[in-house]
Amino acid sequence: LAAQVLLAALAVGDDTYEPCPAYPPLAPAATVAADPQFQAALRNVTSLLQSKAATLPSGLVATIVYNDSVLWSGGFGLRDKNKPGSGPPLPSDLVRIASITKAYTDTLLYVLRDAGTVGLDDELSTHLPGFSMRNPYGTAGKVTLRNLASHLAGIPREMPWPCTLDQHQCAESDVLENLRSVMPVSPPNRRFHYSNLGIALLGRALAHAAATTATPPSFEALLAEKVLAPLGMVNATFDTAKVLAADQRAVGTTSSGEFVNVSNTCQPTPGAPGGWGAPCGCLWAS
């Protein structure tokens, strides 16, 4: 009876929603920036960050954004603690944004969905030929672009040895070959399981989906064209060697002050400047 009542309610229920709240109009950014209260608060924030930076193992950059406009940005501490004269980090300095890269890969999925290039529920194997994993569960669920993007595909967290993100880098054929003997952690769509491997697979599949017969698939170039360039992120890159050679980065440290050796991570492979796993964590950005 309870199920019948529920089904009846669902059948007659409407699909209306409360209207969005009416927020007051925003003052222009220049007006806010010139406001005495804002200026006073900014002085307090600046003083706080200067004091805090003196106790941190790395420098820091802070930015205040108001309605998509940058009202203020400043660097504190040292750009490179190995070099006392390096000065504070700049807003234009690059840092490896690590797993924040995943947000850009997921954004690319929706850009290509809107363009009609892919569907969210396309199976991964449709766009990444050669992908297969063991299925000990006997379920009918498929690995799709949607459940890869939301970490619901049941894919293990890391790429199979020896194709890990931080160690030996492999070509796509090596990764796919190794995956054939890897066990999923669960059937698709059963539970959330964070996966660097899953987002790497998603990014490389998107590159295949958008490639033409005359152009080899390149996730890095595709992301730059479809996401980074429209956002004005002209300095963002996957090319770790180029960033290090040009000294474009603010040097990071661990919480204990040890320097982060980024030269051993996200190493390039042929056709993939950040390594095959770049879509999950190898983007440099300011």
C-alpha to C-alpha distance for 12 and 18, rounded to whole angstroms: 18
Beta-bridged to residue 285, according to DSSP, are: 95
Looking at residue 42, its pLDDT comes to 96
Query: What is the DSSP-derived secondary structure letter of residue 226?
Result: I
The model carries a pTM of 0.82
**pLDDT band (50, 70, 90) for residue 267:** low
Would you say residue 264 has pLDDT above 60?
Answer: no
pLDDT digits (tens, 9 = 90+) for 205-261: 999 999 987 676 789 999 999 999 999 999 999 988 888 888 888 887 777 777 766
Looking at residue 240, its pLDDT comes to 84
For 222-241, letters b (16+ CB in 10 Å) and e give: bbbebbbeeeebeebbbbbe
- 81-85, 141-145, 245-249, 270-274: range with lowest mean pLDDT: 270-274
Looking at residue 49, its pLDDT comes to 95
C-alpha to C-alpha distance for 173 and 163, rounded to whole angstroms: 11
Extract the tokens encoding 91.
Answer: 């807003």
Strands (E), 31-122: 60-66, 69-76, 95-96
**Is-contact 247 266, C-beta < 8 A?**
no
Q: Which of 112, 90, 97, 79 is nearest to 238 (CA)?
A: 97
